[in-house]
Amino acid sequence: MNPPDAGSNFDKVSGTLQFDRDAALKFIGVRAFIMSASTIADVMDDFYLVLGEKFVDARLYLGGKRAGKRTAAALASANKIDIADKTALEKFYADFYAALGWGKLDFELDYANHAGAVIAHNSFLAQGALAKFTARGAATKIQDAKLQPRCAMLAGYIAGLVSFLFDAEVDARESACIAQNHPACRFEISRRL
């Protein structure tokens, strides 16, 4: 039995997953599909190789931020959460993205100064980069992990969520990534320059 309220949003969100024998899988009513984190990382490796790290990360960050802002507002409205209740919003976002399998977000925000940090545990972008498929199809941990942060899209998304929480434009910079052998991914929040 969970303590009161703990995980209630998580159960509500994860319970919307609908498998479909004709392949039209849906999550929160949205057509979705399942892909391994390693496959995403493999695609990302090719993007980095062909287009360059700066371009790819900038594009993912900007797209993520737009989506994060839009989704933050939509989730608050659809779930009737008072946008002045920051604790309730933070908890909902943490449960929602945990249910999606994107990462478990811990908000350590300084609302007075529009600063702080967000910690992401189990980022799918970074964990995918830490494993590769073998010829037999098993995902195994690799030793030659890249020493660059891998979570630009998540950084943008977090910047969008936190901009909505603060009702002010902020950016997020990934200062530590599990792809660099840190225990969690950390995103520093600062006012937009």
Residues at the contact surface with Zn ion, assessed by CB under 5 A: 123, 126, 151, 177, 185
Query: Is residue 159 within 8 Å of residue 171, measured between CB atoms?
Result: yes
Least spacing, CB of residue 62 vs Zn ion, in Å: 18
The number of beta carbons lying within 10 Å of the beta carbon of residue 108 is 12
Nearer to Zn ion, 165 or 177 (CB): 177
Token couple for 155: 């950084």
Bridge partners for 185 per DSSP: 120
Strands, E, within the chain: which ranges?
Answer: 26-27, 30-31, 104-110, 115-121, 131-133, 139-141, 170-176, 185-191
User: Long-range CB contacts (< 8 A, 24+ apart) of 51-54?
Assistant: 53/148
Nearer to Zn ion, 123 or 163 (CB): 123
Bridge partners for 115 per DSSP: 110
Least spacing, CB of residue 156 vs Zn ion, in Å: 12
Nearer to Zn ion, 28 or 139 (CB): 139
Least spacing, CB of residue 127 vs Zn ion, in Å: 9
Least spacing, CB of residue 149 vs Zn ion, in Å: 5
Q: How far is Cα 16 from Cα 61, in angstroms, rounded to an integer? A: 28
Nearer to Zn ion, 72 or 177 (CB): 177
Nearer to Zn ion, 18 or 175 (CB): 175
Least spacing, CB of residue 108 vs Zn ion, in Å: 16
Nearer to Zn ion, 126 or 158 (CB): 126
- DSSP 8-class letter at 18: B
- Rounded to a whole number of angstroms, the distance between the first and last alpha carbons of the chain is 46
Least spacing, CB of residue 107 vs Zn ion, in Å: 16
